[in-house]
Every structure is written in structure tokens, then in C-alpha cells.
Structure 1
């Protein structure tokens, strides 16, 4: 819990992990006091471990502010499956962006969240509300619904039985209704949401499948809710997901 000192009984690696995970996507740098508060560790411990992490390039220091370091990005590029998926998808994402004029995204599921691993800004899309690295709720995004619809039943039930946050007044949080939506996603091979995660935008998405048949991630197109046209965007995003799946079949052992 944020603000509770939890140092006793945990090792150095655990404490370093608490510090690294204290950052979120909206941070522009954190001071030692804020890091200590979020990590639940004493300031003296955080100060000492930050110095080590800066030396190893996992963190960077800019005056009194601490930022995530380039070494984390470098290591992230070594994660084989997300990297191969991104490489396979980027040309298709560019084509989808050019065809629709809207913002396009690629994401993978990590437990109860979707992690965006690529975002391309469309000429008509405005500033994307989802950035590369963003963690998104599975139940309130078309990306999440597209993947969840094709996930293992136990995974689906674990997520639907958890506390589902209402991000906007339009967020669907009723598990029964969500199960019905997931069944519809499987029938249509596409998912959608209208003002569920962001009150100003809506999106359509389709799952990307690995050659083995398991779901690898999802592609979405998002735009302002006032011009959201499901009939226009669904065929485009569905075709893009199929194109990425075909490209994955030729990328190597990660997707065997």
C-alpha cells in the first residue's frame, strides 16, 4: 500500500522493484520523497538504491527529479514475443492509419491489463490518449475485449470476477453484460467500445492470432466519439489483424 513502510523482510531486489514500479505513464520525473511514499520505503533506503540504479542506467537523475532510464527500454526490446509482434505489425499499422486517418494501436495482455506496444497518430485522430507503454483496462477498451474474448475461460472469469472500475459513465462493469459482449466479439471477430475508457473517444479492435491459434494481441483504431463509425472501422481493423497474423507466420520460432 502506498505510504506504508514495507522494508522489513524484503530483499534488495524486491525494494528496487518497488522503486521502479512506483512510476506510471503520466510521470515527468519523481523526487525522492514521492518515490519513497509510493514505494512504501524509507527515504534513506530509496536514496541509496536510486544511486545504484542511476549508476546502472535503470534510472536517470535530472537535478532533484528521477526518471526511468534507457537501460529499461533496451531490456524491453529483448522481450522476444512483443518485439516480434511489433515488427510484424508496424507496416500494417501504418497502412491502417493511412487508410482510416485515425490513431491506431497495438497491445498485448498482461494479466488484467493491456499494454500498448505501438501507437501511430493519424492525420485526423488528434493527440492519442493511449501512448506506447500505457497500461489499459481489459474490460473497458476494445483492445482488451478483443483479446479477452479469445482467452482461456479461467482467465476470463478471473478478470470478470474482480472489481471492475467504471472509467466513465459509459463503462460496462456488469459481468453478465460483459460475457454477452465477449460472445458477440467472437461472432463478429471484432470488438468496440463507445466512451468507455475516455469520454471523448471510441474505438474498434480485432484480435491478432499466432500461428498456433492462440491470441497474441490486438489492433485498434480510435477516434473522437462524435465521428466514430463502427461500420467503416470494423472491416479495416479486422483486415489489419489478419494481415499481421499472416506476417507472424513467417517471423520465426517465437510464434511457432
Structure 2
């Protein structure tokens, strides 16, 4: 997961000097949000280049206020207050509110998992999910972050931007999630051009082996920031089924953005 280091101490933004303690707090919360397991104090301060004493004091404050939790072994993970803040963001988001009823109907129509995601840096963040009614399914819960270049959602959004902007946005090395992930820049550029031509993106097992994802960008402005997708295990797909899914996705997009 890409880490975004805080601005150097004392850097000004819009004429206002940044607050070092606030930057460190945000860095800790983002780091713990991105990890898949509880972290030791040493792991946190090493990853963030923070003095041990300052890191311990900050983590203790965050534990006391509920933003971070600690276990008996002294390891840290994101706390329940962060969950509440994240839930409030999603509940009050205009795009989520516009999309929710349409996503529910799309999920009922297709019986497959439907996702809504937003571009954040070089990653997509899942905002809402309607889970498949089938037992065989793969779900990305709201708040999960994945590389934009490895997902149908991300590629649909990136295809609506000039390549120069995409190239600057992406990391120097495109990490692979599966053997099918596109990690060559020239190949990705060609893929995005093809997505623009046909009007939708396909994640061909690039994020999860055995799963195909169809996605369309939601254009609320000059360039898209959000996309809608339907993820289906390949064993349940055929040419007619794919056409039905794409037609339903396109109809759903028009209802959301109109």
C-alpha cells in the first residue's frame, strides 16, 4: 500500500504553517488504516521516521481517545472512533446517496456484487458495496483501498484522464496483485485507450484470480472521480451474461448521473 508522508515540518499551505503534531497524528492513523494486522510501536515509528518517545506519546493519546486500540502484547490497530468517522463520511457523501438505491436495484437484477469506488491518489477507495446473493463471491468492503491500475473501477476512472496526468499520478513501479495485473506502462496506456473507445473497463483477474469485474466511470465533472462496477466469478460468466451485465451497468450509470 502506498504511504503518503506528511509535508516537511514548517511547510506552508495557502499561507498557513502546517502543524507538525497534526501531521504526525494523520500519518499514524493512515499507517494503521493501511496495515492488515496490529503493529508494534517499533514498526510504527520506524515506518514513519518518528522518534520513539514522540510515537509512544502520540499512540497513547490516540488509544485514550478511542482512535487507536492496543492489545495485551502492546500492538496497535485502528480504533472504533475511526470507524465512526469513516461511516459518517460515507453516509453523508452526495455520490453515495445518489447511487445507493440504484446499486440496490442493480444488485437485485443481476444477483452479483456491485461496488462504488472513488479515486484517491493512485488508489481506489471503495465507498459502497451490495453483496452477491450467491455463495461464491468476493467482496471489497467500504474503506478498502486497491491500486487503480489493477482494478476495473480504477481503470475506468483513469481512462477519463489524459495519459500525462495518469502517468504522473501512478507510482514509478506498478505493483502486481495477480499474474494478470498490467504492470507495463505502455500496455496500461493502450488498455486505457481501449477503455475510452468501448466505454467500459474490464478487470480480467487483475485484482483477484477467478474474478472478472466490469466497470463504468461516473462523470459528474470534467474528469471522473468515481466508478460503478459489477464483480462476477468467471465460472458464472458467458457471452450473453456479460452483455446483460454491461447493459445493466450502463443503464444504472445513466440513472445515477442524470
Residue 109 of structure 2: aligned partner: 99
Residue 227 of structure 2: aligned partner: 218
Residue 69 of structure 1: aligned partner: 79
CA shift for structure 1 position 108? 0.6
Residue 22 of structure 1: aligned partner: 31
Residue 13 of structure 2: aligned partner: none
Structure 1 range deviating more: 69-78 or 224-233: 69-78
* Contact persistence 2:122–2:171 (CA under 8 A): no
Number of aligned positions between the proteins: 239
Residue 253 of structure 2: aligned partner: 241
* Contact persistence 1:119–1:131 (CA under 8 A): yes
CA shift for structure 1 position 142? 0.6
Residue 89 of structure 1: aligned partner: 99
SS in 2 for 1:30: coil
CA shift for structure 1 position 52? 1.4
* Contact persistence 1:97–1:121 (CA under 8 A): yes
CA shift for structure 1 position 216? 3.4
* Contact persistence 2:113–2:139 (CA under 8 A): no
- Give TM-score, length-normalised by structure 2: 0.80
Distance 1:160 1:74, change over 3 A: closer
Residue 232 of structure 1: aligned partner: 244
Alignment counterpart, residue 195 of structure 1, candidates 189, 205, 213: 205
State how 1:1-256 maps to structure 2 within 5 Å. Answer: 11-25=20-34, 27-63=36-72, 64-76=74-86, 83-124=93-134, 126-159=136-169, 162-210=172-220, 212-229=221-238, 230-246=242-258
Gaps of 5+ in 1: 1-5, 247-256
Report the Cα distance in structure 2 between the residues aligned to 1:162 and 1:236, rounded to whole angstroms. Answer: 36
For residues 195-234 of structure 1, what are the alpha-carbon distances to aligned partners after superposition, in whole Å with 9 as ceiling and x for unaligned?
A: 1111121100001111x45313001111213323432321
SS in 1 for 2:99: helix
Structure 1 range deviating more: 77-86 or 228-237: 77-86
CA RMSD of aligned residues (A): 2.8
Structure 1 range deviating more: 182-191 or 68-77: 68-77
Report the Cα distance in structure 2 between the residues aligned to 1:200 and 1:82, rounded to whole angstroms. Answer: 34
SS in 1 for 2:118: strand
For residues 43-62 of structure 1, what are the alpha-carbon distances to aligned partners after superposition, in whole Å with 9 as ceiling and x for unaligned?
A: 43222101212333322345
Distance 1:13 1:206, change over 3 A: same
CA shift for structure 1 position 25? 4.9
